[in-house]
Amino acid sequence: MSNYSVYLVRCRDGSLYTGIAIDVARRIAEHEDSRRGARFLRGKGPLTLVFQREIGDRSLASKIESRIKRLPKAEKSNANLLSKRIGVFVAQCAQEDSQSIGQAGANQ
């Protein structure tokens, strides 16, 4: 199983972009140099990696990415606070997953 990371990059204009990838350095290079990058980032380079954390499987990484995108910019800009929030998000997602498994078993 591949380990996905969630990452944040800061654009030249100060905006933040959140994404997930197995190889974050390769993904940022794609954003900067190719058509494989996110449309949001076209023309906004240079990009600066401001945060990266390994999460685990793709499903969990996508859930964490979605929750990060809903945070205010001030919280995303504070690496210490963001790291703590991600820990809380991981715990919440694990709890939600265990509850949905329990409910699925009860329905059978």
pLDDT one-digit tens code per residue, 86-101: 999 999 988 887 777 6
pLDDT tens for each residue of 42-61: 888 899 999 999 999 999 99
Question: pTM score, two decimals?
Answer: 0.85
Whether the link from the prior residue into 46 is cis, omega within 30° of 0, is yes
Domains of the chain: 4-103 (3.40.1440)
pLDDT tens for each residue of 65-77: 999 999 999 999 9
Where is pLDDT greater, at 102 or 80? Answer: 80
Question: Which range, of 18-27, 59-68, 72-81, 95-104, averages the lowest pLDDT?
Answer: 95-104
Alpha helices, DSSP H, located in 1-108: 24-33, 58-69, 73-77, 79-106
CB atoms within 10 A of CB 95: 10
**Nearest CA among 10, 78, 81 for reference residue 89:** 81
